[in-house]
């Protein structure tokens, strides 16, 4: 690729996008950092830890969650592959559910060549669709899925007298 033509293309792109062009392309990373990370990946780092760029993507928060609501309860299902029950913590604060944990690599003695899964500590705060009382929350963890359930607060409908 001709560097001069690339430079011209970059100037044209800047005129349309302003100075935020590369941040919109690379999720707020500058191109030089991206090139350095690629170089590190291709020369075969001696660590078994995945490159930082592959560990956690801001476009895909970890853990992923689905939230459902019936007439009587709210259900949150978290996807937690590779996490052990003892490495999880849950807390509720008002309308927020906080999940913390750690994904440990099963292969400590071998070097990763390519990885897309997340490894390491994580914390995520989920805004609940309705308030939850801590004493009414149940959590069941099996086969890599954490299901958190709590009853919806049923409010009586009070009729308003129209004058």
Q: How far apart are CA 152 and CA 133, in angstroms?
A: 10
143: left (phi over 0), alpha (psi -120 to 50) or beta: left
Q: How far apart are CA 2 and CA 4, in angstroms?
A: 6
* pLDDT at residue 17, rounded to an integer: 59
Q: pLDDT digit string (tens) for 96-118? A: 999 999 998 877 788 888 888 88
* Cis geometry, peptide bond prior to residue 38 (ω within 30 degrees of 0): no
Residue predicted with more confidence, 20 or 102 = 102
* pLDDT at residue 105, rounded to an integer: 82
Q: pLDDT digit string (tens) for 146-155? A: 999 999 987 7
Q: Could you identify the residue written with the tokens 């899925």?
A: 145
Q: pLDDT digit string (tens) for 31-62? A: 555 665 565 555 544 444 444 444 444 457 89
The CATH number that domain 55-151 falls under is: 2.60.40.790
pTM to 2 decimal places? 0.59
Q: pLDDT digit string (tens) for 89-100? A: 999 998 999 999
The SS3 call for residue 123 is strand
Domain boundaries, the chain: 3-43, 55-151
* pLDDT at residue 20, rounded to an integer: 57
Three-state secondary structure readout of 56-77: CCCCCCCCEEEEEECCCEEEEE
Q: Read off the tokens for 155.
A: 């409010």
* pLDDT at residue 56, rounded to an integer: 44
Q: How many beta carbons lie within 10 A of that of residue 92, not counting itself?
A: 19
What percentage of residues in the chain have a pLDDT greater than 90? 40
Model confidence at 26: pLDDT above 60 = no
- In degrees rounded to 5, what are phi and psi of residue 134? -55, -35
């Amino acid at each position: 690729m001709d560097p001069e033509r690339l430079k011209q293309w970059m100037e044209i792109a800047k005129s349309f996008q302003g100075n935020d062009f590369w941040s919109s392309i690379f999720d707020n990373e500058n191109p030089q950092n991206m090139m350095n990370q690629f170089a590190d990946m291709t020369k075969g780092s001696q660590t078994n830890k995945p490159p930082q760029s592959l560990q956690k993507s801001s476009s895909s928060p970890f853990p992923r969650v689905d939230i459902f609501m019936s007439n009587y309860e709210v259900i949150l299902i978290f996807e937690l592959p590779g996490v052990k029950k003892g490495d999880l913590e849950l807390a509720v604060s008002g309308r927020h559910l906080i999940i913390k944990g750690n994904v440990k690599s099963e292969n400590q003695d071998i070097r990763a060549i390519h990885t897309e899964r997340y490894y390491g500590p994580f914390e995520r705060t989920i805004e609940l669709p309705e308030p939850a009382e801590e004493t009414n929350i149940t959590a069941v963890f099996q086969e890599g899925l954490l299901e958190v359930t709590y009853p919806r607060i049923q409010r009586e409908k009070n009729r308003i007298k129209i004058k």
